Amino acid sequence: MKTTLHISICVAILWVAMSFTGDLKSKKNNGSPVSISFEHFVGNEILKLDSANYKNALGQTFTISKFKYYVSNFHFKNSAGKDVTIGGSFLINEDEEETKKILLAKIPEGNYTSMDFIIGVDSLHNCSGAQSGALDPVNAMYWAWNTGYIFLKLEGQAATSLSPGHFFEYHIGGYKQPTNCIRKISFDLSKSESITKEIKIKVNVLEILKTPSAIDFSKLSSVTDLKNATVIADNYKDMFELISDEK
C-alpha cells in the first residue's frame, strides 16, 4: 500500500511539473542559448583514460578507466534579481567527447551575477522510474526504483587497492536523507557582463579523492551502494572550478 501511494505521489508531482514546464515554453523567450563546456583534469593534468598514471593525496598511484556524472537544473540570477531556471539533466561522459559540451535553452540577455546547478538527479526524477534521453537506463547510470540514478561513476586501478585486479569503483547516488548525495554547485558571475557565448568549467577528478576526506585505496576501493556514498559526495562537491565565460 505504501509503495502504491509513493508511486502515485511521484506521478502526480511529475504531471504538475510537466504542465508547468509546458506553460513556460509557450511564453516568448528572447535571448541566446548558453554553451557550457566541461574540461576534465586530474590536478593540473588533462584526464586521459587508461593511459596515464596519477597520484592521490596519499601518494598512491592510480589510473582512470571511466568517469561520468550528471549535472542538472541550471539556475541563473541577474543583477536585477531575476531568476532563470533551466530544468533537465545532462550526462557528462569522458569517453564521449560530445557530451562534455552542453547547450542550454535561450536565456534572456542581461548581466548575470550567479549560476548554480546540482551534481546528480533531483528527487522528482529519481522517483519517476526509468526515463529517456540522458536518463535512459541504456547509459548504465540507473540502479532501481528504490535508489534511482547513479550520480557519478569513477572507476580505475590502483596498486594499493585490495580488490581483485587492484580495481577501484565509486558509483555514487542516493537522494533521501541521511544518505542524500545531491550536491549544489554555485559560481559567482558578478565580474561578467553577459553569458551569451560560452562558460568553461574545469572539473578536477582529484578532488573526488581528496577533500574533505582523503581516500585510501587500500581501505576504500569500492562504493557501490549507500554506505560511504556521502563521503565521496562531500568530496566531489569541490571538483568544479569556473575557468571563464567568453563574450
Per the domain annotation, does 101 fall within a domain? yes
Q: What integer pLDDT is reported at residue 120 of this predicted model? A: 97
- Domain assignment of residue 174, given as a range: 31-246
Per-residue pLDDT band for 145 (boundaries 50, 70, 90) equals: low
Contact in structure between 234 and 178 (CB atoms under 8 Å): no
Per the domain annotation, does 20 fall within a domain? no
Domain count across the chain: 1
Position with higher pLDDT, 42 vs 7: 42
Q: What integer pLDDT is reported at residue 11 of this predicted model? A: 40
Looking at residues 175-184, what average pLDDT do you find? 95
Per the domain annotation, does 10 fall within a domain? no
Per the domain annotation, does 156 fall within a domain? yes
Q: Average pLDDT over the chain, rounded to whole?
A: 86
Strand-pairing partners, residue 34, are 104
pLDDT in tens, 211-245: 999 999 999 999 999 999 999 999 999 999 998 64
Nearest residue to 54 via CA among 181, 206, 177: 206
Nearest residue to 149 via CA among 168, 172, 178: 172
Per the domain annotation, does 197 fall within a domain? yes
Most confident of 3-7, 72-76, 197-201: 72-76
Per the domain annotation, does 21 fall within a domain? no
Q: Pull the grid cell for residue 30.
A: 528572447
Per-residue pLDDT band for 107 (boundaries 50, 70, 90) equals: confident
Per the domain annotation, does 19 fall within a domain? no
Looking at residues 118-140, what average pLDDT do you find? 91
pLDDT in tens, 166-178: 999 999 999 999 9
Per the domain annotation, does 6 fall within a domain? no
